[in-house]
Structure 1
């Protein structure tokens, strides 16, 4: 089966999952974190080299302050408790977004985790945190202007993105039934294959992942080129 080199996932549905069970949204986030860990392990086992998870968008600041604080603390505590396992599994972690705007404890931990896992090479896990696709393009434009560059093309913009060496996602999965990108990897997703599932993120299983990968393997990626009718 043809696998994507870079898989990106919009992890949606934690709140709805909790609400359906009469639980606080925070409980949904806890289970969602466990699902993210499992999906990371499955991708590493399958041989996928890059996995990007949309953890916190620039728009998520509009959520209740208590929930926002919990999300950051959950991420720090969860990854801190898994650090040795991440290194043993050779999983490298990078963060994508306006990391400098995060609370100081979160920001410091992000940099610490990136440094500790920098030599890992089995799977590169990218966590999109305080991320927005439009913000990334704006920030890239500011970098270009600050450099005083006069000629701008696709390559120049690419070189000034948050993680310029990250390959574009081959496949983007969104859970919970919503069918939109929600400001996720707007520059990088020009020719990404999209897969939508009604499954809420906490319920996302290995079977659901393999179903998405099977669907991806059947698609012909044309990148805008004209292909003969025989194909």
Structure 2
């Protein structure tokens, strides 16, 4: 197939996928894997792979805004990446500094009111990267239409550990009653500004693991996960839409499961529980697609005048 035909086929496929998308996740998180392997495949230096990946980063921001995603988190640099050679990391730090400042000044960022935030142990990063983070944060801190989180010097388990230590110190000092510890208590220790629960994780580069990424917000929310083979610089809009479709299928399956569980419990309901049960069934029925609506007899509740023992 010629390059022209391949391009036209991809455009047609993207259009088809766009028409199929009917539900949008609020928060998408992306593990941008494969920059270095892409560079080796092209015969380039590693930093050229990261620079090629930066172009995809700009594109996915636009794709998210097109379909109504409200928050995007990008896994840009993990705590494990500090173990890589300095000659590999230093050009990456230069690129991060450059792109953070470029994003902070971009018209499309301000026109779409994008707030840029960094999450992770940013104090471990070189000063030039920290200064770029501060600049991007200040330039966009008043916006809230779209949130762009960039995970830098990030490690999910280490963050959970630090949050647990902070909570323990508050209890030990008497500033916190153990009985008052809840989800909100932990989340306040994790980040200075709240993150939405993650609805979809996308990982490029062929790996099938989530690599310690946002364990509190993703695993706790049972996020859908989409693994794909293209390296991050090769990741296309069609790949992105396939990920969104995976999220939709996950949501539909989850809704069906909840509906079936609710229906299975109805037989044991007492008379005083029936009005609430009817309301619950109605809500679950409304949540299902038209093609999956159950027949009326399937969700028929027992008459409240019928003895419980005979139901």
Q: Same fold (TM over 0.5)?
A: yes
C-alpha displacement at 1:112, in angstroms?
A: 2.0
Contact 2:73 2:148 in 1 (8 A): yes
Equivalent residue pairs, number: 230
Q: After the TM superposition, which residues 88-167 of structure 1 pair with which residues of structure 2 at under 5 Å, given as runs?
A: 88-148=111-171, 149-151=176-178, 152-163=181-192, 165-167=194-196
Correspondence for 1:37: 58
Return the TM-score normalized by structure 2: 0.70
CA distance in 1, matches of 2:102, 2:196: 29
C-alpha displacement at 1:222, in angstroms?
A: 3.4
Query: Comparing both structures, which one devotes a greater share of its residues to strand?
Result: 1
Correspondence for 2:68: 47
Correspondence for 1:216: 247
Correspondence for 1:196: 227
Contact 2:104 2:135 in 1 (8 A): no
Structure 1: any 5+ residue segments left out of the alignment? Answer: none
Return the TM-score normalized by structure 1: 0.92
Query: Where do 4+ consecutive residues of structure 1 move more than 6 Å?
Result: none
Query: Comparing both structures, which one devotes a greater share of its residues to helix?
Result: 2
CA distance in 2, matches of 1:126, 1:91: 10
Residue from 26, 34, 47 that aligns with 1:5: 26
Change (3 A) 1:72 1:92: same
Correspondence for 2:11: none
SS across alignment from 2:240: helix
**Aligned Cα RMSD in Å?**
1.9
